[in-house]
Chains A and B, each alone.
Chain A
């Protein structure tokens, strides 16, 4: 965490940093950098990584599918689509911070419900993943159409948002991030017992007393909240939610979700933090979007995972 705080194009030593926290002076550039850039960026990385990982874990268990995750199942796409609508509509209220967040939440939840609907229709695990991917392609097509039909101003705004990064979050927006993260962690721990039973599949879980419909709705709501908010602030971030919980299961060798939630939370936070440090070091050479880096690391890992299961 410290390493992350001290990374960036502007050199800040420990002493300056300390005085920025204890004795803030708005005239000093370095103090402003600490409060306006460094701290929010670090917290965003931690929360986004932890939140997306928990969301991925919940979806993997709910759909009994180790390759599920908010990105693969198109929950991000839902958020992106609604944000696109909001921005392209050109109504100032919709493209304000709160407007974007609200739209991302609605989009994420709606697409969550669509996936739940399909999960009750299709029998094979792989079908659900394909549907998720198709939802993703479909929405990106619609977004393209929207883009070509919209004005220059809106286009610029949307392109900036869609590039996504961890540095766009300001100190004032952090409470929203904290709140959604709180909802996620709380929600996840509330369903620990059902999660442990859902590992056996929905029908077995139901036979052991799990109220499937209620639990499913809660899980979708929780994942939509965190995915929606993170997507609204940082743009789409792929593979974190997919890769981290799998890694944790392999390392911890357990299906006890109290441990898996904690493990995913910590590992996800650290993983995204390290990704962001890498990005900051590369920044002088070229600007790498966070989504590209997580995909670079995550995609090969997922292929390894698939190969491991096939053996």
Chain B
């Protein structure tokens, strides 16, 4: 359960948005709002990358911002819009880097870590990419690989900043469908921001809507009408 109490988010103590008190159970949440409305700020606050201005966020009763730098990546994974392009890094090695919050000082992989990497490859159906270099992947494959990395990392929360931004229609639907499937079967919190309203509604996910005019962020369950969402997010 992710819960927030009296949460205000923003940069450098500047209140940008008031977040209504949330009580989220595991599943997929799509973050909708205008450009510059604070979607990224919310994701960054949720993942502990930046501090909250006031109030708190808890994951299963523990404050996210109280977690240490080394403890946080065991529970929370954050994927930014751009995938780092790296020469000579294999997909399997990239996934193994996702295990680094769990490995010891020299980063040596234990059987458990290798198993997690294999499971992640299987879960995302990308076992055939395992030995490919990451810089030779297509955009769609790359996104699958990044999501697989967060699964290898084994976190409760997976936050994705516009994971479908650079994808064509086909790939967009595949990624969103995959995320829905994973959210339902794996008991994780998958929170992604998106610009594609129609696709988001079709996916059947819950919404977190940033109302730029009212400067609030609120939860809208799946099935909320498109009209309602547009009024809140884009008016």
Q: Which residues of A contact B (CB under 8 A)?
A: 192-193, 196-197, 199-201, 203-204, 206-209, 211, 249, 252-256
Set B49, B86, B88, B103: member contacting A200, Cβ < 8 A: B86
Q: Considering only CB atoms, which chain A residue lies closest to B80 in the complex? A: A203
B51 close to chain A: CB less than 8 A: no
Which residues in chain B, 65-121, are within 8 Å of chain A measured between CB atoms?
Answer: 69-70, 72-73, 77-78, 80, 84, 86-89, 93, 97-98, 100-101, 103, 105-107
In the complex, which residue of chain B has the Cβ closest to the Cβ of A64? B84
A255 touches B84 (CB 8 A): no
**Across the A-B interface, the 9 shortest Cβ-Cβ residue pairs:** A193-B107, A209-B73, A200-B84, A209-B101, A255-B89, A209-B70, A253-B88, A201-B84, A208-B73
Q: Are A208 and B69 touching (Cβ within 8 A)?
A: no
How far is B84's CA from A201's CA once the two chains are assembled, in angstroms?
7
> Chain B interface residue count: which class?
20 to 34
Q: From the candidates B89, B98, B105, name the one contacting A199 in the complex (CB within 8 A).
A: B89
Are B86 and A199 interface neighbours, CB within 8 A?
yes
* Chain B residues positioned under 8 Å from A211 (CB to CB): 69-70
B84 and A208 within 8 A (CB): no
B102 to chain A, nearest CB (A): 9
Interface of B, helix, strand, loop or mixed by DSSP: loop
B residues engaging A (CB < 8 A)?
Answer: 47, 49, 69-70, 72-73, 77-78, 80, 84, 86-89, 93, 97-98, 100-101, 103, 105-107, 153
A192 touches B73 (CB 8 A): no
Apart from the given pairs A206-B69, A209-B101, 4 other A-B contacts in the complex at a CB distance below 8 Å: A204-B84, A207-B49, A209-B72, A252-B88
A249 nearest in chain B by CB position: B88
A110 CA / B86 CA spacing, docked (Å)? 30
B74, closest chain A residue (CB): A209
Q: Is the CB of B100 within 8 A of A209?
A: yes
With a CB–CB cut-off of 8 A, which chain A residues contact B105? 193
Query: Inside 8 A of A197's CB, which chain B residues have their CB?
Result: 97, 100
Complex Cα distance A249/B86, Å?
11
User: In whole angstroms, what is the CA distance A63 to B77 when docked?
Assistant: 23
